[in-house]
Amino acid sequence: MRKSVLAAGLSATALFIALAPAAEAGQHGRTVRVQGAFGRGYVHDRHVNRQPGAVSVSRGTQTNGGYGVASQRGASWGDGVYSSGASRTFNNGASASRSTSVVNNRDGSYSYSHSRTGYDGDTRSVSGTVSRP
């Protein structure tokens, strides 16, 4: 089961790398402010930075009631290396994150590592090397 999930992940990564160069480099963002009745409302922003070999996205939502969440994710690729990461943090301090790395060893094998930290602080990691037939 894990190998099929890993194979699917590597296939998705390869597809992403193949399609990514077609995207235009640059930055853009948007901020939306909504104000409702009785003082209810929120502010949401999203910003994207896309460059050759890298992309990053940050988002945040903050309510007038004091609730909010901020998230960041990004990826970089090039020269046989792909890496990505993401994190999410709430106003109450709860946070979770993940990171992934895949390296082409240039001998027909790929090394990978993945780490995930949950909201409870528990971290799980997996790593290894796979060979192409």
> Would you place residue 64 in the very low, low, confident or very high pLDDT band (cuts 50, 70, 90)?
very high
Per-residue pLDDT band at 124 (split at 50, 70, 90):
very high
Average pLDDT value for residue range 82-92: 97
Average pLDDT over residues 95-110: 96
Asked whether the predicted pLDDT for residue 86 surpasses 90, the reply is yes
Q: Please state the pTM of the whole predicted model.
A: 0.74
Answer whether 70's CB lies under 8 Å from 59's CB. Answer: yes
Could you count the other beta carbons within 10 Å of the beta carbon of residue 121? 9
Look at residue 56 and tell me whether its pLDDT is greater than 90.
Answer: yes
Q: How confident is the model at residue 24 (pLDDT cuts 50, 70, 90)?
A: low
pLDDT number for residue 133: 73
Q: Residue 8 contacts by C-beta under 8 Å, 6 or more apart in sequence?
A: none
CA distance 68 to 60: 7
pLDDT digits (tens, 9 = 90+) for 29-51: 999 999 999 989 999 999 999 99
